[in-house]
Amino acid sequence: MEIFNLVNNAIEYIEINLSEELSIDEIAKVAFTSRYHFQRMFHALTGFTVTEYIRNRRLTMAAEELISKDCKVIDVAYKYGYESSDAFTKAFQRLHGTTPSALRKGEVKIKSFPKLSFQISVKGGSEMIYRIVERGQFKVFGVDFLTNTVNDACYKEIPEFCDGIWEDGTHYRINEFLGYPKMHMLDGIHYDFHEDGSRRFLMGWEVPDNKSIPKEYTMLDIEEHTWVVFEDKGKLPDKLLVEDVWRRIYSEWFPSSAFEQVEGPCLEKHYWNDNKYESYTCEVWIPVKRK
């Protein structure tokens, strides 16, 4: 798949320029994709944000230089983009669990964060069901919180958030406000993405034309987009079914598709398939454009 070769080229570009100023825009150009799409793809494929990967590689190379070369800590700090010895020492200790000075003085254990490389692996798998939807601007409202994709924290925090609004009655009050059944599952909206992996997640509904939304809720305007909508089915205990859908989108569909993600919120929708609430269908909506 060509995208894997392009991401490898981008990683090689990062490697060559670790001691230089690195711009995500320039890195994305090497992969012949937009900054926004590259960041989403990179994190989905590696589990790291671009800036996190660069920082870890720089600190790995810095440790190797401090061990193998007769150089000053401050010189290594400047080389890898740190403006002061203190800032370098704090970052170094967070990754390696020791300080640069302690590393120079004796035998201590450090971590090595190797350069990444992607290889194509062809496997027999299940089909992915999707459709393309053109949709105009609309608004959503609900309750939200700040989460993060670093170390897959969002996959733990989002279910906890959803359970919390069930338990405190917020989920029921939103459905009641719109006249919907109590058990209707709210839509999930990922938005306000940042380079450090943080994002906001909102649970709510589309704003009806005839409703004035109370100020206690967060309002979000969603622009007109072309959407690719993925669908999968599961049983009630499969709480992380949607997590698998997200991973397959970036590891299987985007690398071989004629589309790339554009900036904007992503939606998750859940539909019960029967009156016993034993099985459901989940959908993931991603705004895209043709390459």
Backbone angles phi, psi at 271, to 5 degrees: -130, 130
| Contact criterion met (CB below 8 Å) for 136 and 21 | no
Q: Does pLDDT of 238 surpass 80?
A: no
Looking at residue 276, what DSSP letter applies?
T
In this structure, are 27 and 140 located in the same domain?
no
User: Do residues 286 and 203 share a domain?
Assistant: yes
Tokens 């201590």: give the residue. 108
Q: Is residue 62 part of a domain?
A: yes
CATH code for the domain of 137: 3.20.80.10
Structure-block tokens of residue 261: 């993600």
Q: Is residue 121 part of a domain?
A: no
Sign, Cα dihedral of 252, 132, 10, 14: negative
Q: What is the pTM of this model?
A: 0.76
Q: Which of the pair, 135 or 251, is modelled with greater confidence?
A: 135
Residue 118 confidence (pLDDT) above 80? no
Higher pLDDT, 126 or 197: 197
- In this predicted structure, what is the pLDDT of residue 142? 96
Residues 212 and 248 grouped into a single domain: yes
In a domain, 14, yes or no: yes
DSSP 235-275: ETT-TTHHHHHHHHIIIIIGGGSSEEE-SS-EEEEEEE-ST
Task: Indicate if 162 and 279 belong to the same structural domain.
Answer: yes
Same-domain status, 96 and 158: no
- Counting the structural domains of the chain, the total is 2
Inside any domain, residue 118: no
Please give the pLDDT value at position 200: 96
Q: Name, in order, each residue with C-beta under 8 angstroms of 144's C-beta and a sequence gap of 6 or more.
A: 189, 200, 201, 202, 203, 204, 218
Kindly state whether residues 166 and 63 are assigned to the same domain: no
Nearest to 17 by CA among 27, 4, 5, 7: 27
- The pLDDT confidence band at residue 239, using thresholds 50, 70 and 90, is low
Note whether 171 and 247 are same-domain residues.
Answer: yes
Please, are residues 189 and 201 in contact by the beta-carbon 8 Å criterion?
yes
Say how far apart CA 49 and CA 59 lie, in whole Å: 15
Structural domain boundaries enclosing 19: 2-105
End-of-domain residue from the set 70, 105, 140: 105
Does residue 110 lie in a domain region? Answer: no
Q: Residue 122: inside a domain, yes or no? A: no
Give the residue among 184, 226, 233 at the shortest CA–CA distance from 206.
184
Query: In sequence order, which ranges of 112-190 are alpha helices (DSSP H)?
Result: 154-167, 170-178
Question: Per-residue confidence at 123, pLDDT binned at 50, 70, 90?
Answer: low
Task: Assess whether pLDDT exceeds 70 at residue 140.
Answer: yes
pLDDT of residue 275: 59
Please indicate, yes or no, whether residues 134 and 270 belong to a single structural domain of this protein. Answer: yes
Could you give the maximum distance between any two Cα atoms of the chain, in Å? 72
- For residue 243, how many other CB atoms are within 10 A of its CB? 15
> For a pLDDT cut of 90, what percent of the chain falls above it?
49
Report pLDDT digits (tens) over 93-106.
888 888 888 887 76
Q: Is residue 167 pLDDT above 90, yes or no?
A: yes
Tell me whether residue 115 is in a domain: no
2-32 pLDDT, tens digit per residue, is: 777 888 899 999 999 999 999 999 999 998 9
pLDDT of amino acid 46: 81
The per-residue pLDDT of the chain, averaged, comes to 87
Strands (E) located in the chain:
129-135, 138-148, 187-191, 198-206, 218-222, 225-235, 259-261, 266-272, 279-290
Mean pLDDT, range 222-236, rounded to an integer: 88
Can you give the pLDDT at residue 153?
Answer: 87
| One domain for residues 269 and 202 | yes
Instruction: Count other Cβ atoms within 10 Å, centred on residue 147.
Output: 20
For the ranges 38-42, 184-188, 270-274, the lowest mean pLDDT is seen at 270-274
Residue at which a domain ends, from 40, 70, 105:
105
Question: Which residues, 6+ apart, have CB-to-CB distance to 240 below 8 Å?
Answer: 155, 159
b/e sequence 160-176, b meaning 16+ C-beta within 10 Å? ebbeebeeeebbbebbe
- CB contact at 8 A, 82 and 95: no
Which residues, in sequence order, are bridge partners of residue 269? Answer: 283
Boundary-marking domain end, from 37, 71, 105: 105
Residue 32 belongs to a domain with what CATH number? 1.10.10.60
The Cα 147–Cα 158 span in angstroms is 8
- Is residue 155 located within the same domain as residue 241? yes
Q: Is residue 52 part of a domain?
A: yes
Residues 139 and 282 in one domain: yes
Both 133 and 276 in a single domain? yes
